[in-house]
Amino acid sequence: MTRLTPELLSWVGRQVTYHAPESLGAASFRYFALALQDDNPIYHDQDYATASRHGGVIAPPTLVCETNQIVQQKPNADGYIGHHWDLPIGNGRFIRGGNEYEFHQPVRPDDRVDVTWTLLDIYERPSKQKGSLVFVISEARYINQRGELLATNRETNVYAP
């Protein structure tokens, strides 16, 4: 029996956009790099970064994908405050299936980032256990205040019975 109901499939193509109320700022670059234990001076040393091909401080690449999607949201029942599709899928286990990132240009301290999530596809595959796995493919596009594409994040999530 399929878990792909017409109601669930109607979610394909839905979009949601989150707007950052302020720029990222150089401090967030430095803090994120510290958390990653990445001491590359391009993320915090203005003199070093200015002399580089980037001409200034830039963000660690994945920072843009880890921020700005959670603007002004309350935690869900599990304490998560990032983007999540509240799909009509019933009981089961939510599994993060992976991410594919594409970085189009460096993120700058003055960038104010908006992210638009699009639900691209929902499909089903049989599992070895009872029932089937439902795969949900989404894409996030990160745009700065000048309308420039900074990054894309294609995310796969799996719903197990």
pTM attached to this predicted model: 0.90
pLDDT over threshold 80, residue 68: no
Query: Up-side HSE of residue 100: CA atoms within 13 Å toward CB?
Result: 5
pLDDT over threshold 80, residue 54: yes
The pLDDT, as a whole number, for residue 79 is 81
The pLDDT, as a whole number, for residue 66 is 85
| pLDDT tens profile 93-139 | 889 999 999 999 999 999 999 999 999 999 999 888 778 999 999 99
Cβ 44 vs Cβ 54: under 8 Å: no
Cβ 112 vs Cβ 145: under 8 Å: yes
Domains defined along the chain, listed by start: 6-23+68-160 (3.10.129.10)
Strand segments (E) across 104-131: 114-126
Distance (Å, rounded) from C-alpha 16 to C-alpha 32?
25
The pLDDT, as a whole number, for residue 71 is 64
The pLDDT, as a whole number, for residue 152 is 97
Q: How many residues does the chain have?
A: 161
